[in-house]
Structure 1
Amino acid sequence: MARAILVGVDLGGASGFDPTLDELAQLAESAGDLPVARVVARRKSPDPALFVGSGKADEIKALVEGHQAEAVLFDQALSPAQQRNLERHLGVAVADRTMLILEIFAARAQSHEGKLQVELAQLQYLSTRLVRRWSHLERQRGGIGTRGGPGEAQIELDRRMIGERIKSVKERLEKVKRQRRTQRRSRERNETFRVSLVGYTNAGKSTLFNALVKARSYAADQLFATLDTTTRQLYLEDVGRSVSLSDTVGFIRDLPHKLVEAFEATLQEAAEADLLLHVVDAASPLLAEQMTEVQRVLAEISADGVPQILVYNKFDKLEATQRPRTVVDALELDRGVRVPRVFVSALQGHGLDELRGLIGEAAAGTLKARLNADEPAPSTSSDESSVETDSDPRRTGNQHLHSS
């Protein structure tokens, strides 16, 4: 387990900045590193050479030596040049948030499809970083009347090899996408109502999936515990029919675009669903920000128009004074859209009957009509629980629930 220094840079109100670096620490632990110190810097803009500037880089170097650290992990994306310069300056390996996420995905992917998707994202990431892989060959460049040398030729050779591998992996993924389209057409012919679980990583999607369909999908209290899509039939007694329920990969702040692109085949399950169960960690202090990030990714894959049920999970972790007055209510969103919300504990089974009832109404086509017919959701009053005030999207994140 490598000892690592965590670094975050506040760029003056940049969205998603985490002053505690708690999520980066979770990512580091998920990747097999041991965080030993944290550094927060503040800049108006990133330093072109070292991202944090020379003074802060010297401070980080002192921490590396003092803690005998073997790696420095940045919460933001680094350019290839910044990463190379930092490694030279600090004398240890440097990784950014994107690389950490890719490493975790590579370790967790189980299915053939998942491994292909991760390999594609890794190759696309690596193709921009070849400049640092061959720094030991730089001395071979130059000479009278020349503009390069063996080092440059080796970089070009590797770039071509990576390009060919990317092409091969894309072709194989295209076959997977065609297979999935065939499966979806089959479900459409059978008039199967398709439900997909989406949400921020570690919100409890897999635990909820297992509780609803009595499955044994891997679930753990860690980031990206599961990557591969699993689909099962969920029988709804109230409406006397089954629906198709799929568990999908979790989202996270600053999820690399190339990773979203690589996982397109998997994420299409959400884009082509009839209903999304947006699973939220009700006990998270960053609830609104996490919901916003999920909505951003849904918009990126053209799934933001799919009807949703907000599932506030981990109800059991809330203090008694924080718990809602009712298990089921609805949120009044902008443009007059109302979204049903249900509080559950997937671990203890609380609220699951109510959730099944809402899914049944959606499958029967009666949920939207009932929502429109109901009285508007009550406004937040001063004596309501903290779940319905400080962390509730009716105050902090409503505008993001159905926007891009």
Structure 2
Amino acid sequence: GGGAGGRVLLQSKATLCASSVSAGNAGQSGFPGAGSNGAGPAGGTDGGTDAGIPDGGTSSGTSAGTVHEIKFSFQVPTTPAITLPVAGQVSTTTRPRIEGQAGTDGPVVHILIDGREVGMVVPGADGAFFLEPFTPLTAGEHEVTAWSESLGVASLAATPVRFTTPAVVLADGGVVDMAVLVVPANGDTVGPTPLFAGTTTNGLTVGVVIDDGPDNIVPVDLLGRFRFQVPESEALSVGVHKVTVHAHNETGEDGPHSDVVGFEVVVAGDGGTGVDAGTADPAVPMMVVPAQDASVDPTPTFVGVALAGTTVRLELDGAPLATVTSDAEGVFRHEVGADAALATGAHRIVAQVVTEEGEAGLRSPEVGFQVRGPTDLDVGCGCGAGPAGMISVWALVGLTALARRRARG
């Protein structure tokens, strides 16, 4: 099959052994009596007869590779040193500049913060290097270190330096809180131009970062809602992607990043359009997915909103389906398993609050939907509902924001 080549790093004062790049044994055919075929090692034998050539040779002769010997001075890379920040320093930014000194023999320096590599840099001719982290660091104490690499050989790690980054504050002295991404949820499937929507308690703008790309900065409305829809000109490729969001203060400084949400682009189509659902009493639960008259598969996921920590009973076609609790952002979900797949046809879903005394409380409007076979499903937002499903997205985002403010009040 041919050799792939290779390299050997030999550190010594003089060459101590001879090199050999002779070919290996010739290929052996599985056909009876065919013998070997191809070049073999110099002076070797094929153990048989090939095309009239007696034992002791091969039909293609011998073969040997070539040796290129490159001699230059080499030593294990010098252990780098972190010069900035200094130990115990309190940084004025969440993206502190990391500076240091390494050897001048051409190493690559790997920089790690809190045990995670954040970048690689090549030092200048004087051995100096620097890096500004792409992702803002969370407020609090951190540890930075580094190590050098040359020809696959690693140096010892630099002495760790501990430093502190500040919280991002607003003009009124408040701290910028973490923004929350509501749509899509982790593991959702979407189209190539998905809608990203969520809430922030006090950010002035929000940055949406897809696959570690640029900051897509969007405004925040008076209810703390934000939205960003990927344009057709920048449609995402089919496959798995990730997204995170963060709020900004008046000067554009980044607040803490949200947890990474993974999603998958599986079909061509638009990500839907969002329509503001207006204000509503957040104490009343509301079904968001599926939307009214949507078409879903037999194992849909039901999504709704209520006040945070509310116990909600879902009723399907007038019968109890499941009891769930809304999370800290007021979102509740229930996924129908394959063992409880819904029958084809029309259905209706209702969400009702269960009080602390176990009594029935406020009740959501009834939502009617259709269960159809896979070949009949409409192409929509990738969440089991047709295009109309995205009309209710802003109900989810808006009510979540209201619920959070009502709970705090």
Give the strand-richer structure, 1 or 2: 2
Give the helix-richer structure, 1 or 2: 1
Query: Would the TM-score normalized by the shorter structure come out above 0.5?
Result: no
TM range (shorter): under 0.3
The normalised TM-score by structure 1 is: 0.25
Q: Which has the larger radius of gyration?
A: 2
